[in-house]
Amino acid sequence: MSIGRLIRIILISAFAVAWIAPLASAAEFIDLYRQGLDAEDAGDLDQALNKFTDAIKSHQNSAQAWAKRGEIHLKKGDPQSAIKDMLQAVRLDPGYAASYIRLGFAYNATNQYDRAIEALDIAVKLDPNSGEALNTRGFAYNGKNDYDQAIRDFDRAIRLNSNDSRYYNNRGFARNGRHQYVKAIEDFDRAIQLDANNAMYYNNRGVAYLRQKNFDKALEDFDKAIQLNSKFDSAYHNRGMALSGKGRHEKAVEEFSKVLEINSTATVLYKDRGTAYRKLGEYELAQKDFEKAIEIDKNFAPAYGALAVLHAVAPHPPVRNPNQAVKLAQKAVALTAGKSPDMLENLAEVLQAIGQTSAAVSALSKALSMDPDNREYQDLLAKWQGSVPPTMVRESGGRRTPFDNLW
């Protein structure tokens, strides 16, 4: 038995002796708890869940048992049940930092980032030297796109433990969000040095290269991620994006189609495959994919935006439909409550494509004010405000236009 495990059992023993009801045996509780830990270590999560449930029945006031069962629920992919157990754990012992960390993790898993941060703020106050609390809170800030705050938390976590690869990976993700791609790549390099067999790290570094438009480097990383994990859907998807960036749209379609065979309800894949079809001049197929994404999720703003661009740049009716293009682009902005710079940039592309340059510049300026470090927005705005005349732009076949935007 490890020293850490022994310490945990000793703590549980002391707690149990103090609180267990007369009819419940402290020894029985400790044995059930130990069996749950052993089953968890052996990878038998169902058995672990059963043992921790029995431990709770034996001693319903054990915050540790509730927290551990919640952790097993998380590992089994049931964050809602985990949240219920963690809330019970923090009610029983408001000073138990580990419960708040796990609760924050569970809220992250359900995209409830504000609640996650509330729980993790308490965890950090209870244990300021917990790198795990800081890392999990940073993850929540990533989810809220508050990358500056996320980076601050990951910085603190790394100072506490400079050998945890996850902290560098998560900070790299935040730096990608801040368009700090060189620094992001440095973080992913360090994560890979610490754990060279983690496919996620190669995939995330590939994304940084992708956003730098270094498509060859990106492809190398996505290939490595797939080599390490042949079922890594995101790596196939991102490889398709890199191929499209190199102008190999037919191969990109193949990559997107592979993943859609596995996950036929992935709206973003239909949107991205539709974009590749558009660039190939396959406008009807593109429209079909965009409409499929909207059918699956009527609130998926990027699909409306992509369909809007298609209606704006297609060469001939009925696919070409400037009025519908503007309506769809405006709907994408409305679905994101005007808070998505990408959807505003998308609206700007549509407006520019149909010759409304002044309105396009206004929309793009607003997007840039929300994301001032976005180099693509900066370059596009400078071009539109330059000497380029506000002419109507249409696609012909698979030719790229000034309004194609991979991102």
Averaged pLDDT for residues 280-299: 97
* pLDDT of 398: 35
Residue percentage of the chain with pLDDT more than 90 = 85
Q: What is the four-CA torsion angle of 322, 327, 333, 337, rounded to 10 degrees?
A: 170
Q: How far apart are CA 307 and CA 287, in angstroms?
A: 7
* pLDDT attached to residue 373: 87
Each residue's pLDDT tens digit, 18-29: 444 444 478 889
Higher pLDDT, 262 or 225: 225
> What is the C-alpha to C-alpha distance for residues 250 and 201, in angstroms, rounded to an integer?
27
Around 360, how many Cα atoms within 13 Å sit in the side-chain half-sphere?
23
DSSP states of 280-344 = TT-HHHHHHHHHHHHHH-TT-HHHHHHHHHHHHH-SSTTT--HHHHHHHHHHHHHHTTT--HHHH
Measure the N-to-C terminal CA separation of the chain; round to a whole number of Å.
Answer: 51
Quick: pLDDT tens for 69-113. Answer: 999 999 999 999 999 999 999 999 999 999 999 999 999 999 999
CA distances 389 to 347, 355, 383, Å, are 19, 9, 10
Domains defined along the chain, listed by start: 1-127 (1.25.40.10)
162 band by pLDDT with thresholds 50, 70 and 90: very high
Q: Tell me the whole-structure pTM to 2 decimals.
A: 0.82
- Residue 304, Cβ density class (10 Å: 0-12 exposed, 13-18 middle, ≥19 buried): buried
Q: What is the pLDDT of residues 201-223, one digit of tens each?
A: 999 999 999 999 999 999 999 99
- At 165, is the pLDDT very low, low, confident or very high (cuts 50, 70, 90)? very high
What is the rounded average pLDDT of the residues 113-141?
97
What confidence score (pLDDT) does residue 76 get?
Answer: 95
Per residue in 348-396, pLDDT tens? 999 999 999 999 999 999 999 999 988 889 999 999 987 443 333 334 3
Per-residue three-class SS string for 385-399: CCCCCCCCCCCCCCC
pLDDT at 219: 97
